[in-house]
Chains A and B, each alone.
Chain A
Amino acid sequence: MIRKNLLIWITIFSSVIFIIQLASLQLASDSFNRDFAVQEISVYPERGLIFDRNGELLVTNQPMYELIIIPENTVEFDTIQLSNLIGIEHNDLSKRISSAIKYSTKLPSVIQSQISKEENAFLQEKIWQFDGFYLRKNSVRDYIRPFASNVIGYTGEVDQNDINSNPYYEKGEMIGKQGIESYYEERLRGVKGKRYFQKDRFNRIIGPYNDSKKDISPKKADNLTLTIDIKLQEYAESLLNNKRGGIVAIEPSSGEILTLVSAPTYHSNQFIGQDRTANFQGLLNDTINKPLFDRSLQAQYSPGSPIKILNALIGLQEGVVNESTTFKCNAGHYYARNAFMACHNKIGTISNLRKGIYNSCNTYFAKTYKMIIDKYDSPSQGLDSWSKHIKSFGLGDYLGYDLSIGKKGFIPESNYYNRFYGNNRWSASTTISNSIGQGEILTTPIQMANFTSAIANRGFYYKPHFVKKINNQSNIRLEKNFTSIDKGNFEVVINGMVDVVDRGTARIAKIKNINIAGKTGTVENFILIEGEKKQLTDHSTFIAFAPAEDPKIVISVFVENGYWGSRWAAPIASLIIEKYLTGNVERKWLESRMINGSLLAEYEKPYKFQNFTINE
C-alpha cells in the first residue's frame, strides 16, 4: 500500500538521513570543530627582578604605553596631525591604519608600541581628539643601572624562530634575547595565565566564559641575584673607556663572577622604546667595534705569556724541572738549527724557575716545554700529556657558565699536528710557540680568569657563574674541578707570580700591603688587510689574584693592541683589585691615566690605507 504508508516511509527515511548527517557533524567531522566563540587572553606575571650580589636593584619593569586603534570607532581625523603627534611618517601611519582595518574593524590593533611615560603624558592630553584611538598600558624592562649590559642582556618581541621552537610563545610576547634575560628566561618570565572570554558573533567579548572556571592564574616569576658586583663592574667598565678588550674578575673560593666587561659594549636600555630597532641596527652594523660581541666570553686570543705559568706547573708535575732548575738565556736561544726565539732578557741571564716567571723568560719556558714533550717516546705522547694538563684547567672547552654565548678556545692535541705534518713527523721544536702562548693555542678572557682561579685555589676551580641566588635560594651547587697538578707544585709558581708584581714585569701593579700574584702578557697578533697578513700592535694582557696567600679575587684583563702587558692590562687589574679589596683607590694618577687613556688612534691605523708602525 504505497498510498497508506507513503508518509510513514518518507518520515523514517528523512530521520535516517538526518541522523547520518548529524553523526558526521557531531561525531566524525573535525572541519567544524573549531570553537570561534571563546577568546583566550593571556595574563602575564611581572617579569622577575634582577639584583647584584650586594642586593642592589639592577633591573625592574616600567610601564610603557601602546597607541591602540579600533577602526570602527574612528571618525574622520587629521592623519597629518596624528602622525606629527606620535612622531612617525605620515605614509607609515596610513599603512599601519590600513593594516589594522584589514585585521579587524572591531578589534584593537597596535598603531605605535613602546611609548614612554613622558610621551604618554604628552599624548594623553591630545589623543581624546581622535575618536577610536586610546593608549593602553603594558610593561617593559627598565635597566636601572646602565652597566653589565653584556651580562644582563635584553628582551625583545618574540620572532618567528622563537615561536616555532617553543610553542609557549605567541606573537607580540616578550622574550629574553641575550644574556641573563635569555639564559634564565623561564625563571624570569614565570608562566603566563589564561583567561577565557565568551565572544559574540561580532568577535566582541561579552563576558567571562564559564564563570572563569577554566581560567588559569599566572605563575609568579623568580627574582635573580647576580654574582656581579655592580659597583666594581661600573668601575671596570670606566677603565676600559676608549679601549677594546675584556675584563673578567672571579671570586676563586666560589667561582662567582664579580665583573665581566666587554668593551666597547651596548646598553640594555637601547633595546627599549621607539628607537630600539634603529639602535639594534646601528649596533649590528658596527662591524669594526662589534659592540654586540662579548670579548670576555667570545673573543679567542692567543694567551701570551700567562701560559708560561701553566707550563711551569706542568714541568713541575712531570718532574722535568724543579724549583732550582736553571736555564741560560742569550736574549733568546736557538731551539733548532737556524731557528732562534728572541727574548727580552739580556745575554747571559741565568734564571731559575721563579726568576723565569717574574722576568717572563721565553728561553726558560721554551726549554721547559721541550723537556715536557721530549720526556715521552714520541712527540705525540708528550704533546697529549701536556694537552691533558692544560685542559684540566678548563681551557679548550666551554666552561659551562650560565650564559649561552661563548667560545671553546683551542688547545692542540697530537692529532692536530699529525694531520698537518704527518704522524710524528714533528717535534717539540715544531710546536715551540705553545710554550709562550703564541702558537695554536686560543683562549678567551674568562678562560684565562678561570685558570688563574685554579692557581689561586692551588689546584682546583669552581665553575664560574653569574647567578648567585634565585628567589634568595642558592642557585649553584659548588663542585671542585681538580686540575692534574698536585697541590704542592703551586707554591713555587705562585711565589714567582708574586715576584712579577713585586720586582718583575708588572711592578706598576703593586699595591701597598697587598700581595698580588700576577703574570703579564704581550701578545703578537695579525690582521688580514686585502688578503695581506699584517702585524698589529701587541695585545696587552694580565692575569692576577690577590691577596696571594688567601685569594679573594682573580682577574684577567685583555686590552687589544695595548702593547706591553704592563702598559694597560696590569695597571687596570691592579686598580680593580685595589677597589675591590680596599673599597677605594688611592693611586688617583694611575686611575685617571687608565680612564682617560685612549687607544682609538691605534685602532684606526689599519683602516687608514697607509703604512703604519706598531708597538710604539
Chain B
Amino acid sequence: MNRLSIFKYDLVSIILYLSLVSFGLVNIYSSSFNESSINLFDVSSIVGKQVLFFFLSLIAFIFILFTRSRFFDNSAYIFYFFSIILLLGLFIFGVERGGAKSWYALGPISFQPSELAKLGTALFLSKFLSIIQTDLKSNRDILIVFIIILIPLILTTIQPDPGSALIFLAFIFPVIREGLNLNYFYFGLYIISTLLLTLKFNFLVCLAILMIVFSAYLIYFRTKKIKISLLKFLFSFFILICISFSTNYLFENVLEQRHRDRINLVLGKEVDTSGIGYNINQSKIAISNGGLFGTGFLEGTQTKGNFVPRQHTDFIFSTIGEEWGFIGTIITIIFFSFLIIRIITRADKQPNHFRRIYSYCFASLLFSHFFLNIGMSIGLIPSIGIPLPFISYGGSSLLIFSMMFFVYINFDSSRLMED
C-alpha cells in the first residue's frame, strides 16, 4: 500500500477544487478592492483572511489524507454531537450578526458552527444509513433519519438563519438514493408547488388545481388498474388542502416582512427595484453589465461602486458575471456541475456503503449551495443568504467545504485499496 502515490487520488476533482478556490480569491480581491493597495497576505484584509483559511484548509488536507478512512466511520457520531453542542452553545455564547446569533467569535476570527453541522450531519447520516440493520421501509428508521436531519435544521432555523437551515433539506437526496420511497420525494414537490400556487394566486385557485390533478390521478389509477391505498391517497390530498389553506396565515404571521418581500419578488408580485429587490436587481445589473467577455479583472464598475451588497460573500457570482462575463459564468457553472456529477458517479462505484453515502451527501450539499446561490444571484430564487462553496468569502464555509472535499478524496482513494 503506497499512500504517497498521487495517482490514486481523484486528481481531476482536486484540480477543479483548486481552480474554484483560486478563482474565488481573485473575485474576492476584486469585490473588496479599493484604491488603497491590498497585501494578499495581510490577515486583516478580507482577501488576506480568505488566503489564511485556504492555508488552514491545506493543512487540514494533509491531516485528512493521512487519516485512515475508518476513523471517520468510527467517529461519525462524535462530529455530529459535537456540532449539535456547538449549535446549542450559540444560544449562550453566540455573537449576533445581521440579525442572527449564528457565530462564535474568537478575536479577529469568527466561526459559524452550522457549517460544521453540515459535515457532522453528513457523516452521521451516512453512518446510520450504512448500518446493515437500517431499513428505509420501516417507519421507525425513516423517523430516525428525519430526526438526524431535523435537529440541526431546527437549531439553525431558530438562530434565526433560515437560509442555512434550508441547506439541511439537501440530505433528502442521499436518503432517496438509499431507498426512501420516491413518493416522499413527489409529495415534497407537491407541497412546494402547493405553497407557490397559493402564494402566487390564492387558496381557491390552488384548490381547483389540486382537485383536477387528483381526479386525473384517480382516473389514471382506475384505467391502469393500479391498486392504491385510497385512505393514504385521500389523506395526502387533505394535507395539501390544509397546507394551501394555512399558507396565507403562515405567510403573513410566521415569516418576517423581509422574507415575504423576497418571496413576492420572485413570484413577480412586487417590482420594487430600490427597496427589497435591490440586492437581486443590482446583482442582475452587474451580471448583465459583463456581457459576453466581461469588463475584465478589477474593471467592473458595479463591483467597484459596491452596488451589490454582500458582494464578496453571498453575491460573489455577480462579480464573476460582471468582470468575467458570460464566458466566466458558464465556466463556473460547468466546473461546479462537472464536480458534482463526478463525485456522484465515483460515489456509485464505492463498494463501502458509509463512504458512498457520505460522498453522495457531500455532492448533495454542494449542489444545493450551487443551486440556491447562483439561482438567487441571477434572480430565479428568493434572496437566501448562503455562500457559493469554495468561491464566496467566509472562513468557516471554505474550511468546512474543503474538509468535506478532502474527506471525499480520502474515501475515493481508499476505494481501490480496501474492502
* Interface of A toward B, CB cutoff 8 Å: 2-4, 6-8, 10-12, 14-15, 17-19, 21-23, 25-27, 29, 32-38, 198-201, 206-207, 209-210
Cβ of A17: which chain B residues have Cβ within 8 Å of it?
380
Least Cβ distance of A84 to chain B in Å?
A: 38
With contact pairs A7-B173, A26-B326, A37-B301 given, residues A207 and B288 touching in the complex (Cβ less than 8 Å) = no
Least Cβ distance of B357 to chain A in Å?
A: 13
Are the C-beta atoms of B35 and A22 separated by less than 8 Å? no
Query: Which single member of B282, B344, B364, B378 contacts A201 (CB below 8 Å)?
Result: B282
Cβ of B360: which chain A residues have Cβ within 8 Å of it?
7
Residues of B255-299 whose CB lies within 8 A of A: 282, 284-285, 287-292, 299
Query: Which single member of B307, B364, B379 contacts A36 (CB below 8 Å)?
Result: B307
Residue of B with least CB distance to A12: B337
Least Cβ distance of B43 to chain A in Å?
A: 25
Cβ of A3: which chain B residues have Cβ within 8 Å of it?
176-177, 179, 182
Cβ of A18: which chain B residues have Cβ within 8 Å of it?
333, 374-375, 378, 380
Cβ of A35: which chain B residues have Cβ within 8 Å of it?
289, 301-302
A and B contact pairs by CB, cutoff 8 A, 29 listed: A6-B185, A7-B340, A8-B341, A8-B344, A10-B367, A14-B367, A14-B371, A15-B334, A18-B333, A18-B375, A19-B333, A22-B287, A22-B326, A22-B329, A25-B284, A25-B321, A26-B287, A26-B291, A26-B325, A26-B326, A33-B289, A35-B289, A37-B305, A198-B301, A198-B305, A200-B306, A200-B307, A206-B304, A207-B35
B348 at the interface (CB under 8 A from A): yes
B363 at the interface (CB under 8 A from A): yes
Least Cβ distance of B335 to chain A in Å?
A: 10
Are the C-beta atoms of A11 and B288 separated by less than 8 Å? no
* Complex CA distance for A33 and B292, rounded to whole angstroms: 13
Cβ of A37: which chain B residues have Cβ within 8 Å of it?
301-302, 304-305, 307
Can you name 18 extra interface pairs (CB under 8 A) apart from A6-B177, A14-B337, A25-B288?
A6-B176, A6-B185, A11-B341, A11-B370, A12-B337, A15-B337, A17-B380, A18-B333, A18-B375, A19-B333, A25-B284, A26-B321, A27-B292, A29-B288, A32-B285, A33-B288, A36-B307, A37-B307
Are the C-beta atoms of B374 and A8 separated by less than 8 Å? no
* Complex CA distance for A227 and B360, rounded to whole angstroms: 90
With contact pairs A3-B176, A26-B321, A201-B282 given, residues A8 and B307 touching in the complex (Cβ less than 8 Å) = no
Cβ of A27: which chain B residues have Cβ within 8 Å of it?
291-292, 326
Cβ of B284: which chain A residues have Cβ within 8 Å of it?
25, 32
Are the C-beta atoms of B305 and A32 separated by less than 8 Å? no
The number of chain B residues touching the other chain, given as a range, is: 35 or more
Least Cβ distance of A213 to chain B in Å?
A: 10
Are the C-beta atoms of A32 and B288 separated by less than 8 Å? yes
With contact pairs A3-B182, A7-B344, A12-B337 given, residues A19 and B330 touching in the complex (Cβ less than 8 Å) = yes
* Complex CA distance for A200 and B303, rounded to whole angstroms: 9
B345 at the interface (CB under 8 A from A): yes
With contact pairs A32-B284, A198-B305 given, residues A21 and B363 touching in the complex (Cβ less than 8 Å) = no
Least Cβ distance of B65 to chain A in Å?
A: 26
Least Cβ distance of B320 to chain A in Å?
A: 10
* Interface of B toward A, CB cutoff 8 Å: 34-35, 173, 176-177, 179, 182, 185, 282, 284-285, 287-292, 299, 301-302, 304-307, 309, 321, 325-326, 329-330, 333-334, 336-337, 340-341, 344-345, 348, 360, 363-364, 367, 370-371, 374-375, 378-380
Cβ of A210: which chain B residues have Cβ within 8 Å of it?
299
Are the C-beta atoms of A201 and B341 separated by less than 8 Å? no
Are the C-beta atoms of B305 and A21 separated by less than 8 Å? no
With contact pairs A4-B177, A4-B348, A10-B367 given, residues A32 and B307 touching in the complex (Cβ less than 8 Å) = no
Residue of B with least CB distance to A29: B288
Least Cβ distance of A456 to chain B in Å?
A: 66
Chain B CB within 10 A, most for which of A15, A34, A201: A15
Cβ of B177: which chain A residues have Cβ within 8 Å of it?
3-4, 6-7
Cβ of A33: which chain B residues have Cβ within 8 Å of it?
288-289
Cβ of B329: which chain A residues have Cβ within 8 Å of it?
22, 26
Summarize B's interface: helix, strand, loop or mixed.
helix
Cβ of B363: which chain A residues have Cβ within 8 Å of it?
7
Least Cβ distance of B397 to chain A in Å?
A: 20
* Complex CA distance for A200 and B34, rounded to whole angstroms: 11
With contact pairs A37-B305, A38-B301, A201-B305 given, residues A22 and B176 touching in the complex (Cβ less than 8 Å) = no
Are the C-beta atoms of A199 and B287 separated by less than 8 Å? no
Least Cβ distance of B341 to chain A in Å?
A: 5
Cβ of A11: which chain B residues have Cβ within 8 Å of it?
337, 340-341, 344, 367, 370
* Complex CA distance for A2 and B371, rounded to whole angstroms: 20
Cβ of A14: which chain B residues have Cβ within 8 Å of it?
337, 367, 370-371, 375
Cβ of A207: which chain B residues have Cβ within 8 Å of it?
35
Residue of B with least CB distance to A206: B305
Least Cβ distance of A11 to chain B in Å?
A: 5
* Complex CA distance for A467 and B120, rounded to whole angstroms: 88
Chain B CB within 10 A, most for which of A8, A36, A37, A200: A37
Are the C-beta atoms of A23 and B301 separated by less than 8 Å? no
Residue of B with least CB distance to A201: B307
Cβ of A12: which chain B residues have Cβ within 8 Å of it?
337, 341
Are the C-beta atoms of A26 and B290 separated by less than 8 Å? yes
* Complex CA distance for A209 and B301, rounded to whole angstroms: 8
Cβ of A4: which chain B residues have Cβ within 8 Å of it?
177, 348
* Complex CA distance for A489 and B212, rounded to whole angstroms: 109
Least Cβ distance of B256 to chain A in Å?
A: 24
* Complex CA distance for A8 and B366, rounded to whole angstroms: 12
Least Cβ distance of A276 to chain B in Å?
A: 38
* Complex CA distance for A4 and B330, rounded to whole angstroms: 26
* Complex CA distance for A4 and B371, rounded to whole angstroms: 19
Least Cβ distance of A42 to chain B in Å?
A: 19
Cβ of A36: which chain B residues have Cβ within 8 Å of it?
285, 302, 305, 307
Cβ of B173: which chain A residues have Cβ within 8 Å of it?
6-7
* Complex CA distance for A408 and B309, rounded to whole angstroms: 66
Cβ of A21: which chain B residues have Cβ within 8 Å of it?
378-380
Cβ of B379: which chain A residues have Cβ within 8 Å of it?
21
Least Cβ distance of A523 to chain B in Å?
A: 69
Residue of B with least CB distance to A15: B337
Residue of A with least CB distance to B293: A26
* Complex CA distance for A21 and B377, rounded to whole angstroms: 11
Cβ of B176: which chain A residues have Cβ within 8 Å of it?
3, 6
* Complex CA distance for A10 and B170, rounded to whole angstroms: 12
Are the C-beta atoms of A2 and B182 separated by less than 8 Å? yes
Least Cβ distance of A20 to chain B in Å?
A: 10
Query: Which single member of B34, B292, B337, B375 contacts A26 (CB below 8 Å)?
Result: B292
* Complex CA distance for A18 and B344, rounded to whole angstroms: 21
* Complex CA distance for A25 and B320, rounded to whole angstroms: 13
Cβ of A23: which chain B residues have Cβ within 8 Å of it?
326
* Complex CA distance for A2 and B374, rounded to whole angstroms: 25
* Complex CA distance for A27 and B367, rounded to whole angstroms: 26
